[in-house]
Chains A and B, each alone.
Chain A
Amino acid sequence: MSAALEIHNATKSYGAHRVLDGIDLTVEPGQTTAILGPSGSGKSTLLRVINQLERLDAGYVQVGGELIGVRIRGNRFKQLSDREALKQRAKIGFVFQSFNLFPHLTILDNVIEGPLAHKRATKQEAREQGERLLARVGLLDKAQSYPRQLSGGQQQRAAIARALALEPELIVFDEPTSALDPELVGEVLGVVRDLAKSGTTLVIVTHEIGFAREVADRVVFLDAGRIVEQGSAADVLDNPRHQRTKDFLSKVL
């Protein structure tokens, strides 16, 4: 069985600044991986590369054994057509730090937009599925509200429901609780925790060390575009081998 996510030699520069410097990472199906690292270490870029919001200079990304954004033609990568790229994106859910719900659509319409656009379901089916998902994140009573009428925690839970609606093989979270007030963090982490237990493959960039320790099967520590160390949560968080990891943890804990 192929890995849920395989990143090989991911390299990317903005001008002279190398954001990703040859990253190799493999995530097995059903695993939850937490990515830690100081700001500017390339965590967000790595996630954005997975969902083709950014393009790699070198290396490749595979999701479920399928190359992302490119296909092999002759002896080289060829960029996918827009339509093919869209299909691939639907396999990967993305949860943003600032939610990015569509403010002019109701919560339910936000959730069913993806399935409808991909013609996965009739409007009726999509609504039913959307309501199930909203119930799952505890927001069924907010289905007809608009995003700005909700608290940050509720918005982020709605955004998670939206990502789930496409039944992705993999969900990536870009600091899902960083824009939230401390007392709202718990409700969002609760939803993520349930997802992790349900066997969905998750990759989470987070600053919540305690949370990473609890849910992550594996913790990856990134600095200056490289993986400094990775392993089980206990290994990396409690017995870090590298000085940079120790420095970082001593600052955030």
Chain B
Amino acid sequence: MTTSTAAPPGKSLEEIADGRIQPLRRPGRWIATVVVLIVLAQFAHGFFTNQAFEWARFRYWFVRPVILEGLVLTLKVTALSAVFGFLGGVVLALGRLSRSPLLRAVSWTYIWLFRSIPLIVLLLLIYNFSALYHTLSLGVPFGPSFATFTETDLFSATTIAVVGLSLNEAAYAAEVVRAGILSVDQGQLEASHALGLPKLRQFRRIVLPQALRAIIPSYVNQLIGLLKGTSIIFYVSLLDLFGEVESLQSTYPSDIIPLLMVATFYYVLLTSILSIIQYYVERYYSRGALRTVPPTPIQRLRATLREFREKATER
């Protein structure tokens, strides 16, 4: 046997086989790692030592109430528009999939229209809505009205922003939701028909949970777009995070870079939070679709630590 000559004296082939296999050395990988680390270190160094970033001013602006107020407005407008937009999207998607030609046509037209109008044009139109209709009233169509509102009662600047963003968001959400619903296997609907589940229950309990698995990644994309897109409400005189930064720049022209960095930081932070939530929600809705649910990062970290400790005690 040729292998037995390579074995050290006193060790059988079986004993050798019990030991750990020495991994292959990969010099190319080591070189690439070193190069990338050097480049990263350079970036980090420049980031913290370049005086132009003015980190002291960054720290100053970071916690100013005026910036935080802008942040709160951004969050509020995003959250409301996300909820209303999604609900509207579900209704529109159901309309698109309805058997009624009228509902299908209306939903299609809505989506077509609101995807066509630039968001900023839509917001400015709503902002100037009073030029179109002076009062809004609630009552019987073509009949008497019970309550009448003037534009100013009803439409605060925040309402305008939320209405505009929701109308726009619903059109996009509708297509995302529809795609999700279409992705659910036809057999699932047949099985729920066969069990005699009521229509609403079929949708709520069987179709939507499975559709959400396909909906979530695209919808979080939408949400992140929406979060950053809210900066557009600056044009209807609302000062969100970006708006505050923008208006402060004219008063403190020397602080442009730190102010923009503050805004960047908060947007990155919020997007990160959304991405983390996305991970867990997606994981939740993948149950049943995968044989085993992948571990959370925390579980993975624990497993790695445990392995590390075991290795350490082995030695």
Chain A residues near B (Cβ < 8 Å)? 51-53, 82-83, 85-90, 92-94, 96, 98, 100-106, 113-114, 117-118, 146-149, 162-163, 166
Contacts and interface: CB of A to CB of B under 8 A. Distances in A.
B187 A162 contact: no
Contacts of A52: 193
A114 B197 contact: yes
B288 A148 contact: yes
Contacts of B191: 94, 96, 100-102
Nearest to B194: A94
B288 A104 contact: yes
Which of A51, A86, A92, A149 is most buried by chain B, counting CB atoms within 10 A of its CB?
A86
A102 B209 CA distance: 10
A51 B210 CA distance: 24
B193 A148 contact: no
7 contacts: A51-B193, A53-B190, A83-B198, A89-B195, A92-B194, A114-B196, A117-B195
Nearest to B286: A104
Contact of B289 (A90, A96, A103, A163): A103
Contacts of A103: 210, 288-289
A201 B209 CA distance: 34
A192 B190 CA distance: 21
Given A53-B194, A113-B205, A114-B195, A104 B287 contact: yes
Q: What 10 pairs across the A-B complex have the smallest Cβ distances?
A: A89-B196, A100-B191, A94-B194, A104-B288, A100-B187, A146-B288, A90-B196, A86-B196, A114-B195, A103-B288
Nearest to B193: A53
A234 B185 CA distance: 40
Interface string B280-304: 0000010111111000000000000
B8 to A, nearest CB: 46
B289 A148 contact: yes
Nearest to A104: B288
A86 B187 CA distance: 17
B206 interface: yes
A48 to B, nearest CB: 8
Contacts of B195: 89-90, 113-114, 117, 162, 166
A100 B188 contact: yes
A226 B150 CA distance: 70
Contacts of A87: 196
A82 B195 CA distance: 13
A106 B287 CA distance: 9
B289 A113 contact: no
Interface in B26-80: none
Given A96-B191, A98-B187, A101-B191, A166 B196 contact: yes
Nearest to B196: A89
A86 B197 contact: yes
Contact of B206 (A82, A85, A89, A102): A102
Contacts of B285: 104
Contact of A96 (B187, B199, B288, B292): B187
B194 A89 contact: yes
B201 interface: yes
Contacts of B289: 103-104, 148
Given A100-B191, A102-B188, A104-B210, A117 B291 contact: no
Given A52-B193, A94-B194, A147-B288, 8 more contacts: A83-B198, A88-B196, A89-B195, A102-B188, A104-B210, A146-B288, A149-B292, A163-B194
Contacts of A88: 196
Contacts of B193: 51-53, 89
Contacts of B198: 82-83, 86, 117
A163 B191 CA distance: 10
Interface in B160-178: none
A85 B190 CA distance: 14
A227 B290 CA distance: 43
A204 to B, nearest CB: 16
A102 B185 CA distance: 10
Contacts of B185: 100
A101 B193 CA distance: 13
B173 to A, nearest CB: 21
A85 B199 CA distance: 11
Nearest to A82: B199
